[in-house]
Structure 1
Amino acid sequence: DPTPEITWGEVEFAIKQMKTGKCPEADNVRPEHLKAGGLPLFKALAVRFSRYLREKETPAAWKKSRTILLMKKGDPENLSNYRPITLLSQIYKTFSPVVLNRITKDLNMFMSREQTGFRRGYSTVDHTHAVRQLVEKCNEFQIPLCLAFVDYKKAFDSVERNAVLNAVDKCGVNPNYVDLLMEM
């Protein structure tokens, strides 16, 4: 099953979502440049991005980044008071959401409607309301209830990349996207 070509509309959507005033990386491209490029640039990037997807290979420069530390608050001697910011190519930051949007469409078909975290159009407020109702009903009917809330600190940092890629693959995401993610 061939992977559909990336459209200029997908590129335009990704570029329009970019925040302006960001620091450029080594390529000196800013979001303002991409937005000003208009339709000719959107079309050219769509052709190039489609090639990356077809060949499952992205530019080597995209694998390089520069990380800076921004002070949050507190003692400057304490490293936990800093937040790392990774500076990446703006072209890469255009390509990534295009691929992510396609993967998300595949994953949304697999996920249950109860999964509300980190999904567009869903809210964890619904779960908060459901828990509140559950507590009220258990109190009303004098039914014992135990609830546990787990908040994993730096949970994203602790997940193995291969485990995520295997899970995405098992969810039926187009193998070309999985291969491309592994290459990125």
Structure 2
Amino acid sequence: MSKNKAPGPDEITSDVFFRGGEAITTYLTKVYNKMLQTKEVPPSWNEANIIILFKKGDPGNIKTHRPISLIAHSYKLFMRLFQKRMEIVLGENQPRDQAGFRKKFSTTDHVYTLNQVIEKTNEHNLPLCVGFIDYEKTFYSVEHFSTTEALRKISINETYVQILENIYRQATARMHINNLVSEEVHINRGVRQGDSISPKLFTAAIEDTL
């Protein structure tokens, strides 16, 4: 967690966790352990404030902007722990050709492999067909059930899977634009932008689909 990060709906800033010392550590440990026992999460974990960040290009084009979910920092810390515990199992169940969001993997490996395939087929005068798939708005389109079912298939701890289900089943968000706030809306699909575990959920779902 970085300092000076914007708070989520609970309005608790990241500074609280940096300055809280042993008291905040003890408190969070109790909360997290209780959650692991009951599989219930704080209501603020279901909520998100969505802001829009300009990337580049035409400011008047909505496609040049990216939504970011501002979520509770206590949620982020828990998901970071979950991610660390999940990485080993997830890594063991993904093939080497899946380089997305993995340590010691890079897209340059894919580029090198593709170049080798092209060179060898040209060398031996063999036919070659290459397909490229551009997953547009990938994080927004992932179905919630597909992520949790994918995690179950690779034997991720059921407690964590049920906690994820409880979070996404009741997920809501409000848009914050130019000091205006929208009504609360229910989020039926997609993983949260700005959540450290979202890339892992996406790769688990896409690997299960393919």
TM-score, normalised via structure 2 length: 0.71
2:43 matched to which residue of 1? 60
Show structure 1 runs of 4+ deviating over 4 A: 73-77
From the two aligned structures, give the one with the greater strand fraction: 2
2:133 matched to which residue of 1? 150
Q: Summarize the alignment of residues 114-129 of structure 1 with structure 2, pairs less than 5 Å apart.
A: 114-129=97-112
* Contact 2:10-2:44 at 8 Å conserved across structures: no
| 2:153 aligned with 1:170 | yes
Superposition CA RMSD, Å: 2.0
1:7 matched to which residue of 2? none
Report how far residue 35 of structure 1 moved.
Answer: 1.9
Aligned residues: 167
| 2:94 aligned with 1:139 | no
Structure 2 residue corresponding to 1:102, chosen from 85, 101, 126 = 85
Q: Secondary structure at the match of 1:61?
A: helix
Distance 1:70 1:112, change over 3 A: closer
Gaps of 5+ in 2: 168-210
Distance 1:121 1:38, change over 3 A: farther
Measure the CA separation in 2 of the matches of 1:84 and 1:156.
11
**Identity rate of aligned residues, in percent?**
36
Measure the CA separation in 1 of the matches of 2:83 and 2:125.
46
Report how far residue 37 of structure 1 moved.
Answer: 2.5
Report how far residue 65 of structure 1 moved.
Answer: 2.0
Measure the CA separation in 2 of the matches of 1:37 and 1:72.
34
Q: Summarize the alignment of residues 2-151 of structure 1 with structure 2, pairs less than 5 Å apart.
A: 18-151=1-134
* Contact 1:25-1:88 at 8 Å conserved across structures: yes
Larger of the two Rg values belongs to structure: 1
* Contact 1:103-1:177 at 8 Å conserved across structures: no
Distance 1:132 1:74, change over 3 A: closer
